[in-house]
Each structure stands twice: as structure tokens, then as C-alpha cells.
Structure 1
Amino acid sequence: MDLDAFVAEHQGEWRRLEQLSRRRRLNAREVDELVVLYQRAATHLSAVRTRMPDPSLQARLTRLVLTARGAVTGSEGFSWRSVQRFFVRDFPLVVYQARAWWIGSAVVSLLLAAVMGTLVVADPDIAAAFFDEKQIDQIVHQDFEGYYSEFFAPNFAASLWTHNAWLAAQCFAGGVLLLPVLYLLFTNAMNLGVMGGLMIGHGRADAFFGLITPHGLLELTSLFIAAGLGLRIGFAWIAPGPELSRGRAVARAARTGMVGALGLFAAFFVSALLEAFLTPSPMPYLLKDSLGAIVWLAFLAYVWTLGRRAQRLGLTGDIEN
């Protein structure tokens, strides 16, 4: 087969196929023409590959066939409707379905933090096991409060966002093993308890709760949700239920968990903005805490209301359904 003659013979068809593939709207006659030309171009590509391999022509026809295939089969692409569906239906449904896991994680973690804080307040020797007297004085009177205003706010927000998103990713990735998530929850509870015990024990309870509450309500809740989604993956391996195999149960929990993890990036973004801009602001503690509580309650209402409604509609949150 002569390559030049082959190209000259079919050049017009390829050019027409390229034109039709790029159009957003086609009438019925043009759609039929597109399908016919696409089938011919696919045949031409096969012939070139087997009978006269030419890298340049193969690349051209491959690109043309792929473009035409997309035009024939259609592609969903980006859609604001998909974004809306994700935040109105998919994300709140997944979080609502996993409520027992993240509420349980929150209760246990906060109880551990409260016990640790109480012990630190009651026995100064416990705090001495972590810090010396100079470090404790530095934390109580300077570092704890100064941490929130030490850095340029936009950079601080970006750092907090990526840090918390990384923690959520660790919870999700380590969920099937259970222990990494439990360890993360334990260390977070211990850190919170020690810091709270130090501040409260030295008469700085107002500063501790005044600075933790504006962002901490949403931030900790989001972390507990991430942990709950991860633990649910691990439990799906242990107890898959009567209807699914272990592999399928873990896969389904992982798919729905991924939906939750993606949505949490937005929640962590909001909490990072609160921590970088609201927490260090000169507003009174009561006002800052009230604003943080309003954002937190709005998030819970959003998850509970839309998630319960989606569940009543029979939706599953599984992206394969």
C-alpha cells in the first residue's frame, strides 16, 4: 500500500471527522456522518498499524479516533451540578451514615482528654514528666497564646489546612489496620489533655477555652469524622455482614470513605480560616467562641438534615451505585 496515496485518498474524510468531533451541537444528519467517519477512521488506523507502520500517521489517527470516540460516546466532564450533588447529597449522607463511628470516637477521645487534664491539674508531677518549670511557664504565659498570631495569617491557614488534610488522609489510609487511627486519636487526646491541664492548673482556663473553641469545635469534629470513616473500613474487614464478602465490604466502605474524605477538605479549610483569622483576633473570647459555635452548629445541622434526607430517599453514598 502506498502511504502517500492512502493519505491523499482519505485526507478529506479525516478533516471532516475532526471538524465534526469539535462541534458542540450536531443535527441528526451530522451525527450519522460522525459515526460513519469514526468507524472508517478506526479501520484506517488498524490498517496503518498492520500494513504500513508510520509513527507520525499512527499518532495522528490515534488522536483523531480518540477525539471522535469521545464525541460519539459523550463525556460528562465538569459540571456544577455534580459539585452541588456532592455537597447536597453525597458528602452529608456518608457522614450521617457513619455517625455512630465518629460520635463514638469523639466521646472516647474527649473523655481521655478530660481525664488527662484532670490528672495534670491535680498532680503537678505529671506535668513535670513532660516539661520542666521553665517550659511550663513559657507555654502558659506566652507560647500557647502566641502560637495563633506568630505567623502571617494566610500562610498559617494554608499550613493548617494541609496539616489537617494530611491527618484525615492518614486516618483514611490506615483505617483498614485500625491501630494507626486509634493511635492518632490517643495522641491527639493526650496532647489536648496535657495542654488543657497546664492552662487550667495555672489559672488560664479562660485563655485555653477562649482560644481553642473558635476553631477547635469544627476542626476536632472533622478529625473525628475522618477517624470514624477510617475505623469503619477496618471494621468492614472484621465483620463484613451476611450479604458481602470481606473484600467487597472493605471496598464499599473505602469508596464511601473517600467521598467523606474529599468533603472534609472543605471543612478543614473553614476551620483553618477560623484558626488563622478568628482565633487570634482581638475580639472578646465570648464573641469569638460564639462565632465558632455558630459555624460548628451549622455544619452539624447541614450534615444531619441533608444526610438524613438522602438516606430516606434510599441513597447509599456508594459511588458505584
Structure 2
Amino acid sequence: MKEEQFIKTNSNTWRELESLSTVINKKGIKSLPSNEVKKFLSIFRQCSHHLAYARTHYPKSNTENYLNSLISSCHSHVYAVRKVSPGEFFKYVGYEFPRLLKEQKWFVLSSFGVFAFGLLLSLILVAANPDNANMFLPEAMVEGVKSGTAGGGGGQWNYPLMSSYIMFNNISVSLRAFVFGITLGLGTIYVLFFNGALLGALTALMYMYGNPKHYWSLILPHGVIELTAIFISGAAGLTIAKSMFLPGELTRKHSLINASKKAVSLVLGVILMLVIAGVIEGFFTPLNISEEIKLIFAAITAVLLSLYFAVPYLIKRKHN
């Protein structure tokens, strides 16, 4: 097609995109009704194809320069990153996150159930035969606990080694429990079960060869929040799996999209929880204070976390 014919055929479309872009520049994209937004996106895609065609057939021409300028001016409207105001952030933290947990409570409880089953099973297996710990824990860690060099009988806890291992494991577990929801939930269930088994095996070894009080004083101050974050991540993964198995009245595609939005909202809260847990582990857990104080601190975090999650129930009761 000759350039003149190309311009004549498509110039009305380009002018329409220009007009919509001008309105958006002046009043913002929210000023457009939904059908106009869809129209803008459709025309933008058409003009992007026109630009690609012009670059191929009319390189360095005025037509290419014009289309390049037009698409560039519209690009920021299409791919703009939505800014989150401080008010929205505090609303999410203060109410939306616990409200979403209330809405997804059965998924959270299911996630906890899978984790607890793995923990109890490994606890029983290792208590029956300590050699079974090798099924769940690295051999070096098992030998370290037995010999007392990683929190064993002498109560000597290799804090950098053990704490770093546990924190890194919990963070990676949280992320994998969420992402593996796309495997119809099988990956999520495996991650929750195996990591419950890991904690159960380590706990059994500590009661057999180590100092349980010392162990819990180093695990629980940050572990209460970290473990809760794992259960919530597992719930996010199970939410995605459920949308694929049981889409309801929606198509599987739209069911998955809706579930993914909820799951991502849950994971945002999980990230905040892991940050708080990391701060506790970095600044509080290593302090040279009594084990009793650390355990009391862990109990306080559990109470505060319970009160925080109860916010939607308390607000609902107040309005009633």
C-alpha cells in the first residue's frame, strides 16, 4: 500500500486516538466512561499495529514519526502505575487485610490443618526413631542437634546458622505455598505438609537431645508471626486452586482472575508480616535476656495478632 493511501485509510482512527488522549491529559482517564476506556484501548492497539507497519514500509518518514509520537504520548495512560495513597495503605492494613482473612478463614484453617498434620506425623516418627529425622532435615543439622552444636544437650544454640536457616525457610515456604496454588493446590499442600514435618522433626529432636525451653525462646518471638504468614500464604494458594476446580457460575478464566486478586491481597499482608517477623528476629531474638521474657513476648505477639484478626468481627458487632 502506498503511503498516501495508508494515511487516507487510517487518519480518522489516529485523530480519534488524539482526541481521547487530549481528554485524558486534561481530565484523567477516570473522567471517561467504561465504554470510552475500552474504545481508547482498542484504538491504541490498532495504532500500535499501524506504527509497526509504518516502520517496516515507510521507515524514517513523517508518518512513522507522527505515529511514534502519538503512541508515545498514549503509552503512559495505558501502562501507568497506580499510586497507592497513605490513606489506602492504612485502610488495607487496619481493616481490609483482616476482613479478607475473615472471608477466607476456611482456607486459612485448611492450610493450618495440612501443616499441623505434617508436624504431628514427623513428631511421632522421630520420637519413635530419631534416625527418621533424616527424612525431613539436612543430615548436618540432625547431627548438630544430637551432638549439642546446634542447640543440643549443652544448650548451645548456633544462632546465625539455625535462625538464618529457619527464617529463610519460612519466607521461601510462604512464597512457594502461594505460587504453587496454580498446580491445582497439590504443590501448596506438599509445601505446607513437608514444612510442618520439618518443624515437627526439629522439635522432636530438641526434646530428645536439646534444651526445649531455649529452643522455643528463640523460635517463638518471631515464629508466631512467621508461621501465621505461612498459613495465610497457603490459604492464598488454596484459593487459587479452588477457583480452578470449582469456578461456580463464572468461567474458569474469570474465576481464576477473581481468586488471584484476593490471593495477591493476602500475600501483600503476608509480606508485611514477614517484615515485622524479620525485625523481631534481627533485633529482639538475639538479645541477651532471659528465656522467660522472650516467651512472654511471644505470647504477647500471639494475643495482639488474635486481636488484630478479630477487628472485622468487633466492628460488625459494634454496628449491630
Q: Shorter-chain TM-score category?
A: 0.5 to 0.7
Counterpart in 2 of 1:303?
309
- SS of the counterpart of 2:149? helix
Counterpart in 1 of 2:220?
213
> Is 1:80 the equivalent of 2:80?
no
> Is 1:240 the equivalent of 2:251?
no
Counterpart in 1 of 2:34?
none
Runs of 4+ in 1 over 3 A off after TM superposition: 49-52, 54-67, 74-78, 127-137, 144-147, 163-167, 306-313
Counterpart in 2 of 1:53?
62
CA RMSD of aligned residues (A): 4.4
Moved more, 285-294 or 136-145: 136-145
- Taking CA–CA contacts closer than 8 Å with sequence separation of 6 or more, which of the two structures ends up with the larger relative contact order? 1
- TM-score normalised by structure 1 residue count: 0.67
Cα deviations by residue, 1:268-298 (Å, 9 ceiling, x for unpaired): 1111122222222211112112212322332
Alpha carbons 2:111, 2:235 under 8 Å: kept? yes
Q: 2: distance between equivalents of 1:123 and 1:113?
A: 15
Alpha carbons 1:120, 1:201 under 8 Å: kept? no
Q: 1: distance between equivalents of 2:137 and 2:240?
A: 37
Cα deviations by residue, 1:36-79 (Å, 9 ceiling, x for unpaired): xxxxxxxxx9xxx9997166666666666778x89xxx997442
Alpha carbons 2:136, 2:197 under 8 Å: kept? no
2:299 aligned residue (283, 286, 293): 293
Q: 2: distance between equivalents of 1:65 and 1:128?
A: 59
Instruction: Give how far 1:192 is off.
Output: 0.7
Q: 1: distance between equivalents of 2:317 and 2:73?
A: 44
> Is 1:200 the equivalent of 2:207?
yes
Cα deviations by residue, 1:198-247 (Å, 9 ceiling, x for unpaired): 11012522122222111111101110110012112112222233x33333
> Is 1:225 the equivalent of 2:232?
yes
2:188 aligned residue (181, 186, 189): 181
Instruction: Give how far 1:119 is off.
Output: 3.1
Counterpart in 2 of 1:112?
118
Instruction: Give how far 1:104 is off.
Output: 2.6
Instruction: Give how far 1:146 is off.
Output: 3.9
Write out aligned runs for 1:28-177 (5 A). Answer: 53=62, 77-127=83-133, 136=142, 138-140=144-146, 141-144=148-151, 146-149=157-160, 160=167, 164-176=170-182, 177=184
- TM-score normalised by structure 2 residue count: 0.67
Cα 1:76–1:150 change in 2 (3 A) is: closer
Alpha carbons 2:95, 2:311 under 8 Å: kept? no
Alpha carbons 1:92, 1:303 under 8 Å: kept? yes
The number of residue pairs the alignment matches comes to 268
Identity score, percent: 22
Amino acid at match of 1:120: V
Alpha carbons 1:93, 1:308 under 8 Å: kept? no
Unpaired stretches in structure 2, ≥5 consecutive residues:
1-21, 28-46
Instruction: Give how far 1:166 is off.
Output: 4.2
Amino acid at match of 1:53: N
Cα deviations by residue, 1:161-191 (Å, 9 ceiling, x for unpaired): 7x65543332222113211111111210111
Cα 1:169–1:118 change in 2 (3 A) is: closer
Alpha carbons 2:114, 2:189 under 8 Å: kept? no
Q: 1: distance between equivalents of 2:245 and 2:81?
A: 39
